[in-house]
Structure 1
Amino acid sequence: MLSPARTGTAVLSALLLAGLAAVPASADTPSASPSPVAPPAAVYGKGDPTYDGVWRQSLALTALSTAKVVPAAAAVDWLTGQQCANGGWPSFRLHADEGCTAATEDSNATAMAVQALVTLGGHLAAVDKGVGWLETNQNADGSWSYNPGGQGDADSTGLALAALRSAGTDPTTVAKAGRTGLDALGALQLDCAAPADQRGAFSYQAASAGQPASANALATAQAALSAAGGSLPVAAGTPTGPAPTPPACPATTAGVSADGASSYLATALAANGGHLMLTTPGAAPSPDFGATSWAVLSLVRAGHPQQAAPAADWLNANAGPWTKGAAGTDPAATATLILAAEAAGHDPHAFAGTDLVKQLTEAGPAPQSVASTAGKPAKKKSGLATLWVVGVGLLAGIGGGLFLSMNRKRSL
């Protein structure tokens, strides 16, 4: 696992979602301890949880609950036990009986924990405290930063908005100085002043001296979910809606545009053969499995599952190795892939060359129960596989009569 100090929260988000590493939230955060921290038995995964313990636990619990697995009580208790007295969550507390340092509490961990506990149900007090923390730590421009007091960014703002929605709080009622998180996202969305191929995308942060605003695939993939009014988990959609359209120029409306973000994502996915690209300082661009997974979630939630389908197929064909790391199963990557597979209508028990649900379950404490998959109808097929099945059905109909043909079609 990569570690130590980072130069900006963009790197943190990219590494977290790429399943490569998690690093401190700010440049003045103390560097990693000399020796890796062994995760508690209740935590999913065997890697050092110092910088992603709450993040990966929350994703794992959300994904398993969506897959009808009742996780171990110890796994849930560990997550609730990480919550600070003021309602926020840090990235990880080795000693939960010790107090939290407010400046190092983590909006991303808090947002993911809130969504996990809402999905699990029965944790209203913890959820309410988490929502209260998010409300308190909103920036004056309506955004959220990774740690309190920092410059707001699209990723953190998108995650916070998703958490508010999941908890039943209308994001338009949560504001600072009259500005909401949706206003903040709108300010970070590239408009007609940007190059045509970047319009609709989100910049990670606002432009600053020497750092112009530019499209960020990861920020867009995450923030688009909230722009579309979504939160985790995302229910599977039906490919019947129209294709998303890029922002009209000159602009006719103000505010955040889910359709514009979807258009950017769909175009970027198509340009790269069904996936988004990861760009980090000092490294060559490479396929970004995490951002691609989030793009699937966002496109499905926005009503564009047909644009998400090629990305889901690409993940199905290529993402298996992403879910494994030096320490074994990467719980955050595996959980994110489960959520994307479910949203796209695939079976997470047979996705990316493995049973992702079994893989994630075995990476943590033994669950209370696991839903049987025996006798369940198969998930929808996509792409060429579906066309092949339809073709076989038609040929069988020609050879066996109209009645048989119609029955086979109805079974697809």
Structure 2
Amino acid sequence: MLTPARTGAAVLAALLLGGLAAGPALADASATASPVAPPAALYGKGDPTYDGVWRQSLALTALSSAKVTPAAAAVDWLTGQQCADGGWPSFRADTGAACTAATEDSNATSLAVQALVALGGHQAAVDKGVDWLKANQNSDGSWAYNPGNPGDADSTGLAVSALRAAKLDPGTVAKSGRTGQQALAALQLGCETAADQRGALAYQATAGSPLSANALATAQATLALAGGALPVPASSPDGTAPKALECGGSVSPAEGASAYLAGQLTANGQHLMLAMPGATPTPDFAATSWAVLSLVRAGHPTQAAGAVDWLSANGGSWAKGPAGPDAAATATLILAAQAAGRDPHSFAGTDLVKQLTEAGPAPKAAETKKASGGFSKLWMIGVGLLIGAGGGLALSVNRKRGL
């Protein structure tokens, strides 16, 4: 089962709502016979089959932004997951085997690129990832979860943010003359829908059906529309309220989407909702966290403040997970807290940085401290022996002199 923090949950929801067939990666997921044990270098203890690269990328980005230097093994694991053509799948159990191009994952690739940019020193892997994104852009400017499928707002937004993180202007990356921003704008609900839905983005366009607002798609895509990438730096707390999409007006897609997010947060008790077919809507922690990131980046931190408070009061159980710390959820909360100017060491009832650090290999700082501590002990023992030997020698000399 996909982790709640994983974009694949939104993919499944959209597939059910849109009546579409599952893509190759999701079809393979349903055929998995037994869970896969996570590698030692991976953050989190859950089955990594569907979210290994995703959660590792989020974890490395969050730790880097929290001034924690991750273990080399954790970074090597991420770079080792990259395919020869530059893309990343959700997870490669056997990195010695060639990747299946149809199951490479644009979401994993986009997050991996942003993580490696944040860490620094991995330009070759970043360049290959960017080349893969360029090669797998759809003719309408969008990106799909897996290559060869129709594009969606989540995947397109993440790809645009990855390009921007890699210091590329997404407006210059186009297929058939269409950019990712144009693809996102085409998925934005306008005056043909109810006022409280205007500005939202649909997950995906379905022929013969009107666009339908999707909270997670809007939350993730707005970060790209607002010119952002991970991690999102904190901004001034006195930002203005976003302008709602006006019929015939000139409000930007980012402003319209921000107004929708702010309105939905207010209407739902400062959190977004996850609505699955046939199920009672429940609070969506992932979408709420991404809404915080997007609103802060769009210049509206005041409208994000209530959601930050809600996440701090309620996000602890989400981050802890049902069977141990959820690395992706913990990392997402760290990024949201930092964007809002909050202390991730004291958020959601815990020290999120410590929780994430303990969910994976010991960071370099801890390794260094441990190594230096060991050296210090040996050095002190050596000095003590030297002093002892010197003292004994002096005593012996003094005795011989009759002193």
Give the shorter-chain TM-score range: 0.7 to 0.9
Corresponding position: 1:111 with 2:107: no
* Paired residue secondary structure (2:221): helix
Match of 2:219 in 1: 221
Match of 1:133 in 2: 132
User: Any conservation in 1 of the 2:53–2:88 contact (CA below 8 Å)?
Assistant: yes
Match of 2:293 in 1: 297
Match of 1:122 in 2: 121
The residue type equivalent to 1:114 in the other structure is V
Distance 1:365 1:257 in 2: 41
User: Any conservation in 1 of the 2:313–2:348 contact (CA below 8 Å)?
Assistant: yes
Question: Which one of 352, 355, 360 corresponds to residue 356 of structure 1?
Answer: 352
Distance 1:9 1:34 in 2: 19
Corresponding position: 1:264 with 2:263: no
- C-alpha displacement at 1:26, in angstroms? 5.1
Match of 1:59 in 2: 58
User: Any conservation in 2 of the 1:3–1:32 contact (CA below 8 Å)?
Assistant: no
User: Any conservation in 2 of the 1:68–1:370 contact (CA below 8 Å)?
Assistant: no
Corresponding position: 1:241 with 2:258: no
User: What TM-score results when the alignment is normalised by the length of structure 1?
Assistant: 0.83
Question: Which one of 270, 274, 293 corresponds to residue 270 of structure 2?
Answer: 274
Q: Identity over aligned residues, as a percent?
A: 70
- C-alpha displacement at 1:3, in angstroms? 5.4
- C-alpha displacement at 1:70, in angstroms? 0.4
Report the aligned-residue RMSD: 2.0
Corresponding position: 1:318 with 2:314: yes
Distance 1:38 1:29 in 2: 17
The residue type equivalent to 2:355 in the other structure is Q
- C-alpha displacement at 1:208, in angstroms? 2.2
Distance 1:250 1:214 in 2: 21
Would the alpha carbon gap of residues 30 and 317 (structure 1) be closer, same or farther in structure 2, given more than 3 Å must change?
Answer: closer
Considering fraction of residues, name the structure with more helix.
2
Distance 1:35 1:95 in 2: 16
Q: Deviations over 1:1-26 (max 9, x none)?
A: x259xxx96634779xxxxxxx9765
Corresponding position: 1:367 with 2:363: yes
Match of 2:82 in 1: 83
| Consecutive unaligned residues in structure 2, runs of 5 or more | 15-21, 368-403
Q: Deviations over 1:125-160 (max 9, x none)?
A: 000000000000000000000000111100000000
Moved more, 219-228 or 24-33: 24-33
- C-alpha displacement at 1:207, in angstroms? 3.4
The residue type equivalent to 1:297 in the other structure is L
- C-alpha displacement at 1:35, in angstroms? 1.4
User: Any conservation in 2 of the 1:59–1:335 contact (CA below 8 Å)?
Assistant: yes
Corresponding position: 1:189 with 2:188: yes
Q: Deviations over 1:166-220 (max 9, x none)?
A: 00011001000000000000100111111111111101111323x4211111100
What is the aligned length?
A: 357
The residue type equivalent to 2:358 in the other structure is E
User: Any conservation in 2 of the 1:13–1:155 contact (CA below 8 Å)?
Assistant: no
User: Any conservation in 1 of the 2:23–2:146 contact (CA below 8 Å)?
Assistant: no
Distance 1:46 1:330 in 2: 8
- C-alpha displacement at 1:53, in angstroms? 0.2
Match of 1:339 in 2: 335
* Paired residue secondary structure (2:28): coil
- C-alpha displacement at 1:320, in angstroms? 0.3
User: Any conservation in 2 of the 1:12–1:24 contact (CA below 8 Å)?
Assistant: no
- C-alpha displacement at 1:242, in angstroms? 1.7
The residue type equivalent to 2:352 in the other structure is L
Would the alpha carbon gap of residues 135 and 91 (structure 1) be closer, same or farther in structure 2, given more than 3 Å must change?
Answer: same
Distance 1:340 1:220 in 2: 16
Match of 1:168 in 2: 167
The residue type equivalent to 2:270 in the other structure is G
Distance 1:292 1:237 in 2: 18
Distance 1:218 1:317 in 2: 20
Distance 1:25 1:261 in 2: 31
Distance 2:122 2:164 in 1: 16
The residue type equivalent to 2:144 in the other structure is S
- C-alpha displacement at 1:370, in angstroms? 5.9
* Paired residue secondary structure (2:158): helix
| Consecutive unaligned residues in structure 1, runs of 5 or more | 16-22, 372-412
- C-alpha displacement at 1:233, in angstroms? 0.2
The residue type equivalent to 1:353 in the other structure is G
User: Any conservation in 2 of the 1:24–1:31 contact (CA below 8 Å)?
Assistant: no
User: Any conservation in 2 of the 1:12–1:25 contact (CA below 8 Å)?
Assistant: no
The residue type equivalent to 1:180 in the other structure is T
Distance 2:225 2:2 in 1: 31
Distance 1:30 1:314 in 2: 33
- C-alpha displacement at 1:32, in angstroms? 3.9
Distance 2:366 2:303 in 1: 32
Would the alpha carbon gap of residues 198 and 25 (structure 1) be closer, same or farther in structure 2, given more than 3 Å must change?
Answer: farther
Distance 1:286 1:184 in 2: 29
- C-alpha displacement at 1:324, in angstroms? 1.9
Q: Deviations over 1:80-132 (max 9, x none)?
A: 00000000000000011111000000000000000000000000000000000
